[in-house]
Structure 1
């Protein structure tokens, strides 16, 4: 199973970004320290990354799977390039990859 269920945006202030969406639309915000916040909107959760060392240069769409290792094999077999090795984060593990057209995405699971 693969489904898009998360998008991560670079931000100069994860706190300010989260607070904006809470005030503007009433969405639930979960801060994970001063540099990261999740925002839960109907049907999608998205995050704001304010740590410059961890930010992607563009929004990062993430794909959920039940098997991270199998997803990596599928990505590489289809011509994708892993750009960030699997790592843990609050909620699971993920890796980043670049598809042949140049866009970076991520695959994650709740391991």
Structure 2
């Protein structure tokens, strides 16, 4: 993920799909849509459709019928985490580091899981 500016703050920035086979997902989306890919180890691959970036991972369960992880960017990760909690969200994965930044996951009031990330 690239460094973001203030105009990206609190906007949808990334979408992740949990997949059973990353190589198969790359083959499908590359063939069907011409997406480009960057591998970050054996368990994660970023895709680029030319407008939006996202990722394929095998870290979580496959969600048949939909359910990609929507990722929001934040200039101040701790401030947004506090804002999510104050709004009634539940933190389901605390702030953790990853190559390029930090992130946390939360459940909204209806149980939808989203993530928020900030550049390193």
Q: Please, what TM-score do these two structures have when normalized by structure 2?
A: 0.83
Alpha-carbon contact 1:15-1:37 (below 8 Å) kept = no
Cα RMSD after superposing both structures: 1.4
Structure 2 residue ranges without an equivalent (≥5): 1-8
Alpha-carbon contact 1:13-1:35 (below 8 Å) kept = no
Match in the other structure for 1:71: 80
SS in 2 for 1:102: coil
Q: Please, what TM-score do these two structures have when normalized by structure 1?
A: 0.89
Alpha-carbon contact 1:15-1:34 (below 8 Å) kept = no
The structure with the largest strand share of the pair is 1
SS in 2 for 1:88: strand
SS in 1 for 2:16: strand
Match in the other structure for 2:35: 27
Question: 1:9 aligned to 17, 22, 28, which one?
Answer: 17
Alpha-carbon contact 1:15-1:35 (below 8 Å) kept = no
Structure 1 residue ranges without an equivalent (≥5): none
Cα shift at 1:35: 1.8
Instruction: Note closer, same or farther for the CA distance 1:15–1:90 as it changes in structure 2 (3 Å cut).
Output: farther
